Amino acid sequence: MSRLARICVVTLSVIVFLYVGLGYVLGKTNDDKSYRALSVYGEVLQHIQEDYVDEPNMALVTAGALHGLLESLDPQSGYLSPREYADYRDRTKTPQRGEAGMTISKRYGYIVVVSVVPDGPAEKATLRSGEIVEAIAGFGTRDMSVGQANMLLAGAPGTVVKVAVVRRGKTEPQEISINRQVIGPQHIVADRVADDVAYVRLPALDLVDVNELRDKLAAFDKQGIHKLVLDLRDCTRGDVPDAILAAQLFLSSGKIASLEGQTVAHKDFMAQSDKAEWQAPVDVLISPSTSGAAEVLAGAIKGNKRGDLVGERTFGSASEQKMIPLEDGGAVILTVAFYSTPDGKSIVDEGVAPTVEVHPKPLDPSAGDDVEDAAPLGPGQLPKAGDPVYDKALEMLKGGEAKKAA
């Protein structure tokens, strides 16, 4: 089938699905607008069945409709066919699962790399944040959900998955092989970087990292260190409840974040004075490779005027998903709630903006857009002079521009 014909089938299949879906909705409502819309969909459906050049494969049409409908909502929502959902259940039963070591989302209609795990499989294969993944294991990502992509990227440890990647400044994809491996716990990097300044990098936000962060903050305080650079760049893994715990280490009062959805009751997450560990100034490094739970932590520090955010706007993906099994054996991954910053701004819609915007410079400024981004800092590695985001935060802290605890 030609590309044009395929696009037509997928587009029209969305209409077919909406026809069926609205039929279900109308069984529960007397909304006149929905009824009129259903009449239009029914008319279009009749023309598809009677006038389309070929007899449509309704199974493929329906699957395409579901993918298109859910993708129109947000990047994290998606549809799993009965076969894909069965594969998903089998994979979750495996105690050790190999992965590619990268966080992905969807932008520009394709899968994109949000961040890579330092020294992980994707980083070793030279993938970088912001690159477009055009195909995974031979399947194009244009009509692929994030859930499907993650399943294709995962597999037995030691096996290889091939991806076609469009590098920044390039137009043609490059095929890259990624050796899957089990990704173990990622530990924080922390050390004194100046007489009165400490540096902490959170590679992920889980309970291990939060406990390590608490211990390091207490140790720095005992050492008489009174200023902190908190690096959340490339931090995309972890859960929001652990981000809440991390934020409470820096806030003695105020709202950390809010959660709300159509079927999820509004909930505010608040600071607790007895959990505050760090009362001294803190500045936070952020970038487009900061997403999810890390955005909640960054938003809490900014929203309570606790410190400056230095760098670039974060990716925008702090939300909650629910897996809903379907009667035919498939499943829907549906975003059911969004997190918002203390001032009520949706993180998914807007990301978290820096208070001081600083763009990292390329490795070779004379080479222009063809220069690849620098690899993420490796395990245990501290940033070096010449990192403009880090340098700016350090300069601000030494100048006393950071905010003290609320």
- Here the CATH number for the domain that contains residue 104 is 2.30.42.10
* Rounded Cα distance, 296 and 299, in Å: 5
pLDDT in tens, the chain (406 residues): 444 444 444 444 444 444 444 444 444 445 666 666 667 656 766 776 778 788 877 667 667 777 777 888 888 898 888 988 898 888 777 767 899 999 999 988 899 999 999 999 999 999 999 999 999 999 999 878 898 899 999 998 999 999 999 988 788 999 999 999 999 888 999 999 988 999 999 999 999 999 999 999 999 999 999 999 999 999 999 999 999 999 999 999 999 999 999 999 999 999 999 999 999 999 999 999 999 999 999 999 999 999 999 999 999 999 999 999 999 899 999 999 999 999 999 999 999 999 999 998 654 444 444 445 566 776 767 888 789 999 999 999 988 544 544 4
Alpha helices in 239-306 (DSSP H): 240-248, 293-303
* 307 found inside a domain: yes
| Nearest one of 253, 285, 282 to 270, comparing CA atoms | 253
Tokens found for residue 22: 């609205």
Res 47: pLDDT: 76
315 and 360 co-located in one domain:
yes
Tokens found for residue 293: 């739970």
- CATH code for position 297: 3.90.226.10
Amino acid at residue number 390:
Y
* 154 found inside a domain: yes
99 and 237 co-located in one domain:
no
| Nearest one of 115, 94, 105 to 159, comparing CA atoms | 94
* 144 found inside a domain: yes
* Rounded Cα distance, 115 and 120, in Å: 11
Instruction: List the domain range (segments joined by +) for residue 139.
Output: 82-179
253 and 379 co-located in one domain:
yes
Region at 255 (left for phi over 0; alpha for psi -120 to 50; beta for the rest): beta
Looking at 31, 52, 72, the residue that finishes a domain is: 72
334 and 276 co-located in one domain:
yes
* Rounded Cα distance, 279 and 4, in Å: 60
323 and 271 co-located in one domain:
yes
Looking at 23, 54, 72, the residue that finishes a domain is: 72
216 and 284 co-located in one domain:
yes
203 and 121 co-located in one domain:
no
53 and 88 co-located in one domain:
no
Res 1: pLDDT: 45
* 63 found inside a domain: yes
* 77 found inside a domain: no
* 406 found inside a domain: no
Name, in order, each residue with C-beta under 8 angstroms of 327's C-beta and a sequence gap of 6 or more. Answer: none
156 and 264 co-located in one domain:
no
212 and 355 co-located in one domain:
yes
Name, in order, each residue with C-beta under 8 angstroms of 20's C-beta and a sequence gap of 6 or more. Answer: none
394 and 321 co-located in one domain:
yes
110 and 214 co-located in one domain:
no
* 184 found inside a domain: no
| Nearest one of 356, 283, 280 to 313, comparing CA atoms | 356
| Nearest one of 292, 291, 243 to 271, comparing CA atoms | 243
With beta carbons less than 8 A apart as the criterion, state whether 362 and 169 touch: no
* Rounded Cα distance, 59 and 13, in Å: 10
* 403 found inside a domain: no
Res 231: pLDDT: 97
Looking at 118, 153, 179, the residue that finishes a domain is: 179
Number of folded domains that form the chain: 3
Name, in order, each residue with C-beta under 8 angstroms of 85's C-beta and a sequence gap of 6 or more. Answer: 325, 329, 330, 331
| Nearest one of 217, 248, 241 to 230, comparing CA atoms | 217
